[in-house]
């Protein structure tokens, strides 16, 4: 027996059409840092997306062409998010915080012919253009000096001039829902960045999951402050998900410092926000020094790194609930969210909130032990997490070849023989399906045949009232193989010494796990997406650049 249901493709153009009509009054508000914020309705976004599609087509962009965006979070970037895949091209978000060498590699690997860029990032882009042979056009939008592009061997266009006067409707093509819609590269912490290509189908299904009550659960009554960059895994899927359900978007543009973020929240009163823990640590310090009204902000989705429980407790006192989520670039990125089961008090729900959360129905998970066996979900057995699902990558993009064929790359260390994604995360899963990550496989400390979680030590240290940040890494040890090195950033005026910090840790950490090596640093090095960059600390230690004290 065959189904009697219609086979209608799941396309981003459907999200665009639905959002700009059914939710046409919803708004994208872009912070300007000076005057009144720029406000644009979803209906206007839809019309402007059509105009952008016409302009890109006239520049020679067709189906399957990767089109780059080097932009902050703003309304024009949302227009590109919707127009480029809807017309059949591929949205390629460029990480403007990557080192220039990696940015050059990514643009060339994807063979971008057009790059849409904010004027404020032209000093970054312009010097790279002589090394980007495929780039023919640069489309510039927003404030910023255009002088860096003078003499560039590309055609330069102003976004508004290029799009204005064009038709406000576009005959969006009926694409294969499995066709490429967006391309995002991993941050390349080891080796060259790896390209992940999302399909229309995967983006559509992922957007539906983001909107589920068990995930972010937002409606057209909400406004979300999208701090997570649009170049970081499609801003965790928020631009597409919000257009699907009419959630208003507040976009910070380049104003990502704690002061402007506090002002945005107080002025525009978003009900939800999303960003990595370091953003919320900075905002907490800002509002502690200069109190601001954050009462509109009921919930925050926090991911990219484990959230210290002390940070969650601090925001609880402000009436802001932080909800951990876990995922990866290869997962679009949503993997889990840490909403407690129903019927529990706040106290009873706390142990669930400090975990990474439960998997949605579409994401399957398993734990693999050191011997390759599949481990039970008992909340104790620890192994490497592997996942699969309709928005989980099955390979990496290998780049376009002269034959016109594309190569898919499936490195053994990232994909199992039977097709599961090897996440590189180590942890356990409870019988209720709650994931607890104890470390990255590359960061776990192997001491005397036992594992020490660097994340557990960091969270315990960051609960100390005089510690702003802490990062723990494994360093060689003649007796035990590896031992933890604790690097800490003290709060301004703090006086805590290493012995006091070690004694504080001893209250909750087993004696054999306590670090003997300590160093105070000015700040924890971060990756381009705000995660702790532990390889930098390990190198600084190996090069003798840290002032290490044994306690």
In the residue annotation, 186 being an active-site residue is answered as: yes
SS3 state at 153: coil
Selected catalytic residue, list 446, 450, 508, 539: 446
Spatial separation of the C-alpha atoms in residues 472 and 547, rounded to whole Å = 15
| Three-class secondary structure of residue 336 per DSSP | strand
Domain coordinates in residue numbering, the chain:
443-550
DSSP state of 16: H
- Residue 29 annotated among the catalytic residues of the structure: no
pLDDT of residue 304: 86
- Give the pLDDT score at 519: 95
Alpha helices in 318-356 (DSSP H): 346-353
**Is 172 an active-site residue?**
no
Beta bridge partners of 38: 30
pLDDT of residue 443: 87
Instruction: Return the pLDDT at 403.
Output: 52
* pLDDT score recorded for residue 189: 54
Gap between the Cα atoms of 368 and 374, Å rounded: 5
CA angle 205, 19, 279 (to 5 degrees): 70
117 close to 140: Cβ distance less than 8 angstroms: yes
Instruction: Decide if 114 contacts 273 (C-beta within 8 A).
Output: no
- The dihedral of CA 228, 234, 236, 238: what is its sign? positive
Is omega for the bond preceding 333 within 30 degrees of 0, making it cis?
yes
Phi, psi of 244 (to 5 degrees): -70, -35
Encode burial over 13-47: b for 16+ CB neighbours within 10 A, e otherwise.
bbbbbbbbeebbebbbbbbeeeeebbebbbbbbbb
Six-digit token string for 116: 């849409």
Contact, 198 vs 180, CB < 8 A? yes
* Sign of the CA dihedral running 320, 326, 330, 334: negative
Sheet holding 114-118, edge to edge: 155-158, 137-141, 114-118, 66-70, 90-93, 180-185, 195-199, 396-400, 406-409
The residue annotated as part of the active site, out of 69, 186, 224, 527, is 186
Fold designation for 443-550: GMP Synthetase; Chain A, domain 3 (3.30.300)
76, 79, 286, 330: the active-site residue: 330
Query: pLDDT 10s per residue in the chain (551 long)?
Result: 999 999 999 999 999 999 999 999 999 999 999 889 999 999 999 999 999 999 999 999 999 999 999 999 999 999 999 999 999 999 999 999 988 999 999 999 999 999 999 999 999 999 999 999 999 999 999 999 999 999 999 999 999 999 999 999 999 999 999 999 999 998 755 568 899 999 999 999 999 999 999 999 999 999 999 999 999 999 999 999 999 999 999 999 999 999 999 999 999 999 999 999 989 999 999 999 999 999 999 999 999 888 999 999 999 999 999 999 999 999 999 999 999 999 999 999 999 999 999 999 999 999 999 889 999 999 999 999 999 999 999 999 998 654 555 688 998 889 999 999 999 999 999 999 999 998 887 888 988 877 798 988 999 999 999 999 999 999 999 888 899 999 999 998 898 799 999 999 999 998 999 999 999 999 999 988 888 999 999 999 999 999 999 99
**Distance from C-alpha of 494 to C-alpha of 444, rounded to nearest angstrom:** 29
Catalytic residue among 105, 350, 377, 451: 451
Give residue 503's pLDDT: 94
Annotated catalytic, 105?
no
């Amino acid at each position: 027996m065959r189904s009697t249901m219609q086979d209608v493709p799941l396309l981003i153009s459907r999200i665009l059409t639905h959002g700009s009509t059914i939710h046409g009054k919803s708004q994208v508000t872009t912070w300007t840092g000076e005057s009144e914020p720029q406000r644009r309705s979803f209906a206007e976004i839809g019309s402007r997306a059509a105009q952008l599609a016409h302009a890109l087509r006239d520049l020679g962009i067709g189906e399957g062409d990767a089109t780059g965006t080097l932009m902050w979070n703003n309304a024009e970037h949302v227009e590109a998010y919707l127009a480029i895949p809807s017309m059949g091209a591929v949205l390629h978000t460029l990480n403007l915080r990557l080192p220039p060498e990696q940015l050059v590699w990514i643009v060339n690997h994807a063979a971008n012919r057009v790059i849409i860029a904010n004027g404020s990032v032209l000093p970054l882009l312009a010097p790279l253009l002589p090394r980007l042979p495929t780039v023919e056009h640069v489309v510039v939008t927003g404030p910023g000096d255009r002088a860096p592009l003078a003499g560039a061997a590309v055609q330069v266009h102003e976004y508004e001039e290029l799009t204005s006067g064009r038709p406000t409707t576009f005959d969006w093509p009926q694409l294969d829902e499995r066709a490429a819609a967006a391309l995002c590269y991993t941050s390349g912490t080891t080796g060259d960045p790896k390209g992940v290509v999302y399909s229309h189908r995967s983006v559509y299904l992922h957007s539906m999951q983001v909107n589920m009550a068990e995930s972010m659960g937002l409606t057209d009554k909400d406004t979300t402050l999208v701090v997570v960059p649009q170049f970081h895994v499609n801003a965790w899927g928020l631009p597409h998900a919000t257009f699907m359900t009419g959630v208003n978007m507040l976009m910070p543009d380049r104003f990502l410092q704690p002061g402007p973020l506090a002002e945005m929240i107080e002025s525009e009163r978003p009900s939800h926000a999303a960003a990595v823990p370091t953003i919320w640590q900075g905002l907490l310090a800002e509002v502690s020094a200069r109190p601001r009204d954050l009462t509109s902000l009921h919930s925050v989705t926090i991911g990219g790194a484990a959230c210290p429980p002390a940070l969650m407790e601090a925001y609880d006192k402000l009436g802001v609930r932080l909800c951990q989520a876990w995922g990866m670039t290869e997962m679009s990125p949503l993997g889990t969210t840490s909403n407690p089961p129903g019927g529990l008090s706040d106290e009873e729900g706390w142990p669930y909130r400090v975990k990474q959360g439960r998997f949605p129905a579409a994401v399957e998970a398993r734990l693999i032990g050191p011997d390759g066996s599949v481990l039970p979900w008992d909340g104790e057995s620890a192994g490497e997490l592997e996942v699969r699902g309709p928005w989980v990558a099955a390979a990496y993009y290998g780049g376009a070849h002269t034959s016109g064929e594309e190569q898919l790359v499936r490195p053994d260390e990232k994909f199992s023989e039977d097709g599961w994604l090897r996440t590189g995360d180590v942890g356990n899963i409870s019988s209720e399906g709650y994931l607890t990550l104890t470390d990255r496989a590359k960061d776990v400390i192997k001491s005397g045949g036992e594992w020490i979680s660097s994340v557990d030590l960091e969270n315990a240290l960051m609960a100390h009232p005089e510690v702003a940040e802490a990062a723990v890494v494994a360093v060689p040890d003649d007796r035990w193989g590896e031992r933890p090195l604790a690097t800490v950033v003290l709060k301004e005026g703090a006086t805590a010494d290493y012995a006091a910090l070690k004694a504080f840790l001893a209250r909750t950490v087993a004696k054999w796990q306590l670090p003997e090596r300590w160093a105070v640093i000015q700040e924890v090095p971060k990756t381009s997406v705000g995660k702790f960059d532990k390889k930098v600390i390990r190198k600084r230690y190996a090069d003798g650049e840290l002032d290490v004290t044994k306690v």
